[in-house]
Amino acid sequence: MVENKREPNDYVAQPPWKSPIALSLVLHGAILFFALVGWSWSTPSHEPPPRNISARLIMPEPQAPPAEPAAQPKPQPPAPEPEPEPQPDPEEEARKKAEQQAQEQKRHEDERRKQILLEKKKAEAAAKAEEEARKKAEAEAKAAAQRKAEEERRKAEEAQKAEQERRRKEAEAKAAEEKRKAEEQRRKEEAERKRQEQKERERREAEKRRQERERQQREDQLAALATEAQQEQAAAAQARKEAAAAARARDARMASESEKYEALIRERLSNAWYIPSSAQKGLVTTLEITLLPTGELVSVRITKSSGNSAFDNSALSAVRGVQRFPVPEEQDVFNRYFRTFSIQFDPETL
């Protein structure tokens, strides 16, 4: 069948279809073909439209050979059309006859063709109706299927979406949960931290308070001690002060007493000292003298020489020239100041 369909030109080239049988066969075959093909075409529910177009293509073929314009502009009977055309063959006579025959035949043929066409139309209409019904059914089925599929798909999608949504929600919920948990954890930790800090702060403050308390205690103790000590010191200081005052008074008395005698000694020594003419400014002789409580000279020695023997001798002579040094009768004053003392001979007026 496939071959038939594919080789329409063979029919045109060969004259077998001259016979009505052949034509009939062809016609039937065509019908069958169409039916089959249409069935087969219809079966695949996917592409039904191109069936009709193919039929039309066949139609112009039979019309082509005769010069006569196709009486039937209808596209349905394309296949039988070419068959009558190849008949114009023999000689003149023959040809006329033949033409007659042919016309006759043609008339018959047209008759028949009309018949066929009619039938065919009927069949076609039936087929068409059937086809349409089928198509419709198919379409409906298909639509139904489609709808169903669509529905299913939609459902699936919806389900999927729902699933996704669910998952998302789950995830979100989970995330939220986790977040919440984390947050909670964080809060907990924060709280814990704060609690710890608070605790530490409190501990420190407590420590501080404790230290402060201790310090205060110590200070109090120290203050108490200090006060005590102060009182003691004050007492001691007072005692010392009194003692010092007494000592000062004694010292002052002794000092003034000693000063009196120092002045006397100076006068005696100055009167006894004859500064030698070789003395120059800067010459200094220091002597240490030791006296008896009676004022008598026990000893005199040079502790620092001037380097000028005449000058040194003049100092020694001056000391020796004082017969009896004026000294205080009071023994502690004498012992403090005059038992042993130094004299510096240091001329200023040269």
The residues of the shown chain that bind other proteins, judged by CB under 8 A, are 251, 254-255, 258-259, 262-263, 265-267, 269-279, 286, 308-311, 313-321, 323, 336-338, 340-349
Tokens representing residue 313 in the block: 């001798």
Query: What whole-number distance in Å separates Cα of residue 32 and Cα of residue 39?
Result: 10
Query: With respect to other proteins, which residue has the nearer C-beta, 17 or 345?
Result: 345
Query: With respect to other proteins, which residue has the nearer C-beta, 201 or 320?
Result: 320
CB-based contacts of 36, cutoff 8 Å, min separation 6: 1
Query: What whole-number distance in Å separates Cα of residue 4 and Cα of residue 16?
Result: 14
Q: Could you tell me the smallest distance in angstroms from the CB atom of residue 333 to other proteins?
A: 10
Q: Could you tell me the smallest distance in angstroms from the CB atom of residue 280 to other proteins?
A: 10
Cα–Cα nearest to 52, from 63, 38, 65: 38
- The secondary element (H helix, E strand) that includes residue 287 is strand 285-291
Q: Could you tell me the smallest distance in angstroms from the CB atom of residue 279 to other proteins?
A: 7
Q: Could you tell me the smallest distance in angstroms from the CB atom of residue 315 to other proteins?
A: 8
Q: Could you tell me the smallest distance in angstroms from the CB atom of residue 287 to other proteins?
A: 10
Query: With respect to other proteins, which residue has the nearer C-beta, 26 or 265?
Result: 265
Query: What whole-number distance in Å separates Cα of residue 274 and Cα of residue 236?
Result: 54
- 110 burial via Cβ count (<10 Å: 0-12, 13-18, 19+): middle
The DSSP code for 273 is -
Query: With respect to other proteins, which residue has the nearer C-beta, 72 or 286?
Result: 286
Query: With respect to other proteins, which residue has the nearer C-beta, 127 or 297?
Result: 297
- CA distances 57 to 74, 119, 127, Å, are 11, 20, 19
Q: Could you tell me the smallest distance in angstroms from the CB atom of residue 254 to other proteins?
A: 7
- 331 burial via Cβ count (<10 Å: 0-12, 13-18, 19+): exposed
Query: With respect to other proteins, which residue has the nearer C-beta, 79 or 287?
Result: 287
Query: With respect to other proteins, which residue has the nearer C-beta, 215 or 324?
Result: 324
Query: With respect to other proteins, which residue has the nearer C-beta, 55 or 316?
Result: 316
Q: Could you tell me the smallest distance in angstroms from the CB atom of residue 332 to other proteins?
A: 10
Q: Could you tell me the smallest distance in angstroms from the CB atom of residue 241 to other proteins?
A: 17
Q: Could you tell me the smallest distance in angstroms from the CB atom of residue 347 to other proteins?
A: 6
Q: 84 and 32 in contact (C-beta within 8 Å)?
A: no
- 239 burial via Cβ count (<10 Å: 0-12, 13-18, 19+): exposed
Q: Specify which residues 289 forms β-bridges with.
A: 300, 341
Query: With respect to other proteins, which residue has the nearer C-beta, 23 or 318?
Result: 318
301 φ/ψ angles, rounded to the nearest 5 degrees: -145, 155
Query: What whole-number distance in Å separates Cα of residue 319 and Cα of residue 215?
Result: 70
Q: What is the dihedral of CA 261, 267, 268, 272, to 10 degrees?
A: 160
Q: Specify which residues 341 forms β-bridges with.
A: 289
